[in-house]
């Protein structure tokens, strides 16, 4: 309860070094076994995932859009990689966002605070559905297989968001499809407060932690609250 209240009230200026600077924690799981678990789960899920993705890609194409797109994200040690997603936005998403923020001061404040919008003009009707069910994230399993990402870790950060992020724990790990922030208070926190979640995950990283977060992810998806 105390942690929840702290995360809701903290601002970027209040995030201290003890919150965001991770200690060096060696261990077999974080050094070797976590990667093996990622590969094993992805290989087991590959066929079902492709069977789900195929009709979704067709629906997106029928809506007049290319089904897949890649976006530059920051990975471990600050390396830039291309993250795959099912397309949930219009092709001119960046231009449409800037026009919307310029015309709506409240939306600008919301975007600057959280780097997301509750009412996002870029999202297509099909995109709204696959985002709510988190199905747009399925192609990221291929990023996990390639080693760019992990099943569990910090939410992948965009390149231009680095100046907004006050922590260091993020850079010590592979970003994840799911994680503590993705399955908890993500809609109630600022972008900068993600650093608290990331440092906490770095300290608590273990097989048990990852299993619990994967289980929690299924509950989030079933509720339709998205990542």
pLDDT of 9 reads: 42
Cβ neighbors of 175 (< 8 A, separation 6 or more) are 73, 74, 75, 76, 148, 149, 150, 153, 154, 155, 156, 157
Report yes or no on 29 lying in a domain. Answer: no
Q: Is the pLDDT of residue 126 over 70?
A: yes
Give dist(CA 211, CA 209) in Å, integer: 6
Q: Examine the domain organization and report whether 115 and 135 are in the same domain.
A: no
Give a yes or no: residue 27 inside a domain: no
Domain that holds residue 96: 89-122
For residue 12, count other CB atoms closer than 10 A to its CB.
14
- Render pLDDT for 208-220 as a digit per residue (tens, 0 to 9): 999 999 999 988 8
Per-residue pLDDT reduced to its tens digit, 28-61:
998 899 999 999 999 999 999 999 999 999 999 9
8-state DSSP, 183: T
The 3-state DSSP class for residue 70 equals: strand
Instruction: Specify the length of the chain in residues.
Output: 227
DSSP, collapsed to helix, strand or coil, labels residue 170 as helix
Residues 101, 178, single domain; the answer is no
Sign of the four-CA dihedral 134, 137, 141, 147:
negative
- Find all residues with CB under 8 Å of 89, minimum gap 6, and list them: 122, 123, 124, 127
Do 217 and 112 fall within a single domain? no
Helix (H) or strand (E) holding 222: helix 207-223
Give 202's pLDDT tier (boundaries 50, 70, 90). Answer: very high
- Residue 178 within any structural domain of the chain: yes
For residue 63, being part of any structural domain is answered with yes
Residues 168/203, Cβ–Cβ less than 8 Å: no
Phi, psi of 166 (to 5 degrees): -90, 0
The domain tally of the chain equals 2
pLDDT at 56: 95
For residue 217, being part of any structural domain is answered with: yes
CA dihedral 130, 136, 141, 143 (to 10 degrees): 180
CB 173 within 8 A of CB 200: no
* Same domain for 64 and 159: yes
pTM (2 d.p.):
0.82
């Amino acid at each position: 309860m105390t942690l929840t209240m702290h995360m809701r009230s903290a601002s970027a200026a209040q995030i201290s070094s003890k919150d965001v600077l991770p200690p060096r924690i060696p261990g077999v799981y974080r050094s070797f076994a976590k990667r093996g678990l990622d590969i094993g789960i992805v290989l087991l899920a590959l066929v079902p995932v492709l069977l789900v993705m195929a009709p979704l890609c067709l629906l997106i194409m029928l809506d007049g859009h290319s089904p897949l797109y890649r976006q530059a994200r920051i990975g471990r040690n600050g390396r830039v990689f291309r993250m795959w997603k099912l397309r949930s936005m219009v092709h001119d998403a960046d231009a449409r966002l800037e026009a919307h923020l310029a015309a709506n001061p409240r939306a600008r404040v919301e975007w600057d605070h959280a780097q997301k919008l509750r009412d996002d003009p870029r999202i297509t009707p099909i995109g709204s559905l696959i985002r709510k069910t988190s199905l747009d994230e399925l192609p990221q399993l291929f990023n996990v297989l390639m080693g760019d990402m992990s099943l569990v870790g910090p939410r992948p950060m965009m390149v231009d968001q680095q100046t907004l992020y006050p922590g260091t724990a993020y850079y010590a790990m592979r970003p994840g499809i799911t994680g503590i922030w993705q399955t908890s208070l993500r809609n109630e926190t600022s972008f900068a407060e993600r650093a608290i979640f990331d440092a906490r995950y770095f300290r608590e990283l273990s097989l048990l932690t990852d299993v619990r977060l994967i289980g929690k992810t299924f509950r989030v998806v079933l509720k339709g609250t998205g990542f």
